[in-house]
Chains A and B, each alone.
Chain A
Amino acid sequence: MQFGVFTVSDLTQDPTTGRIPTEQERIRAAIAIAKKSEEVGLDVFALGEHHNPPFFSSSPTTTLAYIAAQTERIVLSTATTLITTNDPVKIAEDYAMLQHLAGGRVDLMMGRGNTGPVYPWFGQDIRNGIPLAIENYALLHRLWREDVVDWQGKFRTPLQSFTSTPRPLDGVPPFVWHGSIRSPEIAEQAAYYGDGFFHNNIFWPIHHTRQMVRLYRQRFEHYGHGSADQAIVGLGGQVFMHKNSQEAVRRFRPYFDVAPVYGHGPSLEEFSEMTPLTVGSPQQVIDRYASMRDEVGDYQRQLFLIDHAGLPLETVLEQIEILGTEVVPVLRKELAVGRPAHVPDAPTHASLVAKAGGPVDATVYSVDGVTGRRAEEVQA
């Protein structure tokens, strides 16, 4: 079971001080959050992608590569990579490159993006969100698995004899999660490929999460990737902790009340009841998150949103400290109890390489335009 944090890279005013961080401060904060997460023993750091203010993360692979160079162990992921508005060719290239630099610590989470105005900036239309996600990923999937791709689709120019470089590290594409909150088509997509399914349920009631995950598990089995309880499931989470639970509520409420997305809506108490938001003692967080598997089955990845709504960096780092030292070690133990042996862990680069029978150098040199043969084949 993997535990980690994700950031959406928002620049939000701290409602208790009126201060808004600069882009430079928030970019540095993301690096600090990632390093702290590794230091306290968390498994995953995931970074969002946005192309509009108030967010900084338009270029996640740049940020993740920088983090990769300064960390040793933590898995670097996305939350999410926009499979709709990014050219799948560029995703194939960028993340293959990142995987080489990070030494196999990278996976990705695909998402559509729900900000309508962003689509036309990249030549697309939000009304095509699902078809874009399906077509673009089908191409990306091939680009990482076939050295030379001929391809034609609806949403981008055709490809003739195209080779995406660098080829995947050790001949194994990065593991992919598909994130969706409401669309059964995306659960279906994840199941079809045998990829992971991430339900970012931070703003949603658990009964909704339950039906999305159930659908994914059933279809995973239908497509022959294993039994339903072997499907690869991830969940979002949102917590704020203090050893005294009333103090946690007192400190977090000003951020909650005006937070982007849910602020000015339900009360903190109502929202805590309806969604996985847990504001209280570390023990309360442990109890709440130890019970998630009762709803969705034994799962593989739990990511916490920890740094949004204007929380200052020092507070965020404190929260990560509590998460890593007091909460996650206990959750690891509790979730291991009764977990069937045939339920897999989240795939990693190492596990995928092992499954493929060991590392293969997948380098493609040049391809002869006339014969279609590669340079190394000609020399052989």
Chain B
Amino acid sequence: MSAQGMRGARDAGGTRRLAVVSAGLRQPSTTRLLADRLAKATVVALGELGVQTQVDVVEVREHGHDLTNMLATGFASESLEKAIETVVSADGLIAVTPIFSGSYTGPFKTFFDVIDDGALAGMPVLLGATAGTARHSLAIDHAMRPLFAYLRALVVPTGVFGATEDFGSADRRSVGSTDGSADGVPPIAVRVDRAARELAPLVAGRKARERTDPFSDPTPFERLLAGGS
């Protein structure tokens, strides 16, 4: 698939493409549940800005073998290549992982490891994470945020962490929450909504990017000979 083709397909008039990377491992997955809520809220927020949104979900688990194989062989299978292209050609990204041992899971990291350098530079990103206990909640800021800083992505200030108690508490309140559950709205929904409203204008305002294809537009040899690249 040609990168230019993907880019050309983007409708400048008011449609954006949102990629969702979900690294949940179970069925049903709390991680996917959170990812879907974040995507839905972002679509609503973009709608309020007059922008239509197409959402494409990448389930990292489905590419588990291919990711390991790519580390061994150096090239991506066709389906993994398609998944990577889905992410790097999007106008915005929602990335959600379970937290294991204080950080993102291995497969989540591997997925971002095999993406080309610079491919996510400037990409508006919303981070989410899930875990069994709220004691992991800083993993978004201490583990995920540095990863996306390295990738030079544009990460919104609100990261949404969901612990079991956020989804399971009978009174629909988060334990220890301080973010305004007095009106009966569950705090996680408040955070999801705030994060989506932070992401939406960045996605809406993203200019179509020019990506040059080195296979159809090579550097002329005279320039290479002169020490250029």
A204 at the interface (CB under 8 A from B): yes
Contacting residues, chain B, for A298 (C-beta < 8 A): none
- Count the A residues whose beta carbon is within 8 Å of the partner chain — how many? 32
Contact call A154/B227, Cβ cutoff below 8 A: yes
Contacting residues, chain B, for A192 (C-beta < 8 A): 221
Interface string of B31-56 (1 = CB under 8 A from A): 00000000000000000000000000
| CA gap between A270 and B74 in the complex, in Å | 14
Contact call A214/B219, Cβ cutoff below 8 A: no
Decide: A187 near B218, CB < 8 A? Known: A134-B224, A205-B78.
Answer: yes
Contact call A185/B75, Cβ cutoff below 8 A: no
A84 at the interface (CB under 8 A from B): no
A122 at the interface (CB under 8 A from B): no
Decide: A211 near B224, CB < 8 A? Known: A130-B229, A203-B74, A205-B78.
Answer: no
Interface range for B? 20 to 34
* Option from A138, A185, A265 in Cβ contact (under 8 Å) with B219: A185
A189 at the interface (CB under 8 A from B): yes
B184 at the interface (CB under 8 A from A): no
Distance (Å) between the CB of A182 and the closest chain B CB?
Answer: 9
Distance (Å) between the CB of B114 and the closest chain A CB?
Answer: 13
| CA gap between A41 and B129 in the complex, in Å | 62
Contacting residues, chain A, for B216 (C-beta < 8 A): 215
B28 at the interface (CB under 8 A from A): no
| CA gap between A32 and B139 in the complex, in Å | 59
| CA gap between A205 and B78 in the complex, in Å | 9
**Which residue on A lies nearest to B68, using beta carbons?**
A265
Contacting residues, chain A, for B72 (C-beta < 8 A): 262-266
Contact call A215/B218, Cβ cutoff below 8 A: yes
A188 at the interface (CB under 8 A from B): yes
Distance (Å) between the CB of B89 and the closest chain A CB?
Answer: 17
Contacting residues, chain B, for A358 (C-beta < 8 A): none
| CA gap between A262 and B229 in the complex, in Å | 31
Distance (Å) between the CB of B109 and the closest chain A CB?
Answer: 18
Q: Number of contacts between A and B (CB, 8 Å)?
A: 60
Contacting residues, chain B, for A211 (C-beta < 8 A): 215
B69 at the interface (CB under 8 A from A): yes
Contacting residues, chain B, for A274 (C-beta < 8 A): 75, 77
B73 at the interface (CB under 8 A from A): yes
A359 at the interface (CB under 8 A from B): no
A105 at the interface (CB under 8 A from B): no
| CA gap between A223 and B222 in the complex, in Å | 11
**Which residue on A lies nearest to B70, using beta carbons?**
A265
Distance (Å) between the CB of A114 and the closest chain B CB?
Answer: 10
Distance (Å) between the CB of A196 and the closest chain B CB?
Answer: 16
Contact call B75/A205, Cβ cutoff below 8 A: yes
Interface residues in B59-111 by Cβ distance below 8 A to A read 65, 68-69, 71-75, 77-78
Contacting residues, chain B, for A261 (C-beta < 8 A): 73
Contact call B215/A212, Cβ cutoff below 8 A: yes
Decide: A184 near B69, CB < 8 A? Known: A134-B225, A138-B225, A205-B78.
Answer: no
A131 at the interface (CB under 8 A from B): yes
| CA gap between A212 and B216 in the complex, in Å | 10
A208 at the interface (CB under 8 A from B): yes
Contact call A185/B224, Cβ cutoff below 8 A: yes
* Option from B77, B218, B225 in Cβ contact (under 8 Å) with A184: B218
Contact call A214/B215, Cβ cutoff below 8 A: yes
Contacting residues, chain B, for A266 (C-beta < 8 A): 65, 69, 72-73
Instruction: Name which of B74, B77, B221, B225 has the most chain A CB atoms within 10 A of its CB.
Output: B221
Interface residues in B185-229 by Cβ distance below 8 A to A read 214-216, 218-221, 224-225, 227, 229
Instruction: Name which of B73, B74, B216, B220 has the most chain A CB atoms within 10 A of its CB.
Output: B73
Contacting residues, chain A, for B229 (C-beta < 8 A): 130, 185
Contacting residues, chain B, for A131 (C-beta < 8 A): 227
**Which residue on A lies nearest to B214, using beta carbons?**
A184
| CA gap between A204 and B77 in the complex, in Å | 10
A35 at the interface (CB under 8 A from B): no
Contact call A188/B75, Cβ cutoff below 8 A: no
| CA gap between A264 and B220 in the complex, in Å | 40
A167 at the interface (CB under 8 A from B): no
**Which residue on A lies nearest to B71, using beta carbons?**
A265
A219 at the interface (CB under 8 A from B): yes
Interface residues in A128-167 by Cβ distance below 8 A to B read 130-131, 134, 138, 154
Decide: A219 near B218, CB < 8 A? Known: A185-B224, A265-B68.
Answer: yes
Contacting residues, chain A, for B73 (C-beta < 8 A): 203, 261-262, 265-266, 271
Contact call B219/A188, Cβ cutoff below 8 A: yes
**Which residue on B lies nearest to A205, using beta carbons?**
B75
Distance (Å) between the CB of B213 and the closest chain A CB?
Answer: 9
The 5 nearest A-B residue pairs measured at CB: A265-B72, A192-B221, A266-B69, A184-B214, A211-B215
Q: A184-B214, A214-B215, A265-B73 are in contact. List 6 more A-B contacts (CB 8 A).
A: A185-B218, A187-B218, A203-B75, A205-B75, A215-B215, A262-B72
Q: List 28 A-B contacts (CB under 8 A).
A: A134-B225, A154-B227, A184-B218, A184-B219, A185-B218, A185-B219, A188-B218, A188-B219, A188-B220, A188-B221, A188-B224, A189-B224, A191-B221, A192-B221, A203-B74, A203-B75, A215-B215, A215-B216, A215-B218, A219-B218, A223-B221, A262-B72, A265-B68, A265-B69, A265-B73, A266-B65, A266-B72, A270-B69
